[in-house]
Amino acid sequence: MLAAMWEDAPGDQARRAAMLREQLGECRDPRVRAVMASVPRHWFVSAEQRETAYGDGARAIGCGQTISQPRVVAYMLTQLAPQPGERVLDFGAGSGYVSVLLAHLVGPGGWVRALERQGGLVAAAEAVVAHCSSAPETAPIELVWADGVELGSEQYDCIHVACAAPEVPQVLIDALAPGGRMVVPVGVEQQQLRCYRRDRSGQIRIQHLWPVSFVPLLPGTD
């Protein structure tokens, strides 16, 4: 019975193939395309949204949050360029979908910390994240219910941020290891993705990317 939860229903594979063909045609990273083709996106939405999970748009996941549209996910992962063995922070993990994609991309030698401030989302994501991260080809995922603005001293090679603030919190910049990359939406009414890169000397370089629309970064936990 439990195993049946993870089996494809009729049409799931066709919908994933359509997503790859219609939305990820401009994705230039074959590893990102491959992992998004292999991880069932419908596992991370409600049963009522199963047939629309692969469509070109964000999908509600509860608690006023969303899972980003596939083309935005692919673009952010391509800019982030996670490599095998790297340490990753998924800030605002939501459903856990991007956390799982990241775990595949950094492989068994890597590590993913998925932070989410909404306790209801953490509870909903636990089973699917545990199932996905148990595969031998993935990195372990630490799913944490916490206020991410109060990060410790840990540094990361990749930081994926799924919520927008008027300016990037200094705590996130400080968490970026030398040689690391962070992709983050910045702004309020008008938001833009930025890529922060820390070079080996410690200097930060900022690249301005796509206009986007993300939920706001909020302090505390719910």
pLDDT tens over the chain, length 222 residues? 344 567 888 899 999 999 999 999 999 999 999 999 999 999 999 888 888 999 999 998 988 888 999 999 999 999 999 999 999 999 999 999 999 999 999 999 999 999 999 999 999 999 999 999 888 999 999 999 988 666 778 899 999 999 999 999 999 999 999 999 999 999 998 999 999 999 988 899 999 999 999 999 988 888
What pLDDT is stored for residue 2 in this prediction? 42
Please say if 213 is a catalytic residue.
no
Exactly one of 38, 46, 68, 133 is catalytic; which is it?
68
In the chain the domains, ranked by start, together with CATH numbers, are: 10-212 (3.40.50.150)
What pLDDT is stored for residue 1 in this prediction? 33
- CB-count exposure of residue 120 (10 Å: 0-12, 13-18, 19+): middle
